[in-house]
Copies of this chain bind each other. A is one copy, B any other.
Amino acid sequence: MRLSIDVMLDYWIENAADVLLLVEAAAMPDQRLERQDMRVYSNDPLRAVAGEEGIGQRTWARGEGNLRVEYQAEVTISRATIDLAALPATPARMLPAETIAYLLPSRYCESDKFEGFVEQQFAGLEGGVLAAAMSSWVRENLTYASGTSSGVTTALMTFADRRGVCRDYAHLLVSLARAGGIPARCVSAYAPGVDPPDFHAVAELWLAGAWHLVDATGMASCGDLARVAVGRDATDIAFMTVFGRATMNDQRVSVRRIDD
């Protein structure tokens, strides 16, 4: 499966500020960058640094006045569809070092508060069966609705409000998984079929020795997703973090399937 990605960001930055961009698709074994072109219209040089967990890259830019970013890429995704429910459980004490931070609660994923619900709703399940049940539960019990949540919405709020956007679905699934002993992280990604077209956020669950992409919104299948970045929650994977103030003029994200 091959994706064509086209992104344009146009912001106004009154006072000069450093800007951290997280918009480039990551080069990984299951997603090959066929070509990409990143342009930031700025007088200052760009600087690229590795993303969290060494996945993808962050680009530091300097913005003053108008900041315009254009990114085009083609990515070939070769990722087998996994039967999540068939994956065995790993006891917490057998987890590798790099997964442990993803077992712990974070700002938007208060997993320590969900232990009671997980015990009640998913009693007796573990491993992939548990992960699949949690993903189904989130998809069936949330309604996709923009305008009901915001950048301060946490998984606890989404759990009660039963509404949200991709970020909220990911936060809730990640929180449930962690509460159930499954390491889980948030992933920003490009995917066709996201409506309205935008940056997408999904979960990645660690089972049977590997990370597995899960889109609880059901908008994207695992074979459609081009990862940009991973992290504990939305804090880590924001497509743009401005160390100062910026206002949006315009922004567009387009992701299309193209013939290989």
Q: Contacts A58-B100, A60-B92 known; A243 to B18 CB distance under 8 Å?
A: no
Q: Contacts A47-B93, A50-B97 known; A114 to B20 CB distance under 8 Å?
A: no
Answer yes or no: A198 CB below 8 A from chain B CBs.
Answer: no
**Size bin of chain A's contact surface:** 35 or more
Contact indicator B160/A106 (Cβ below 8 Å): no
Cα A163 to Cα B95 with chains together (Å): 28
Contact indicator B113/A157 (Cβ below 8 Å): yes
Q: Can you give 10 A-B contacts (C-beta < 8 A)? A: A19-B93, A20-B92, A49-B95, A50-B97, A51-B97, A52-B100, A61-B93, A92-B243, A116-B161, A119-B162
Q: Given known contacts A110-B160, A117-B162, A120-B162, what 14 new A-B pairs fall within 8 Å (CB)?
A: A18-B91, A47-B93, A47-B94, A49-B97, A50-B97, A52-B100, A58-B97, A113-B160, A116-B148, A117-B161, A156-B156, A156-B159, A156-B160, A181-B243
> Hey, which bits of chain A sit against chain B, CB under 8 A?
18-20, 44, 47, 49-52, 58, 60-62, 91-97, 100-101, 103-107, 110, 113-117, 119-120, 141, 143, 148, 150, 152, 156-157, 159-163, 181, 231, 235-236, 241, 243
In order of increasing CB-CB distance, the 7 nearest A-B pairs are: A116-B162, A60-B93, A49-B97, A116-B161, A18-B92, A50-B97, A18-B93
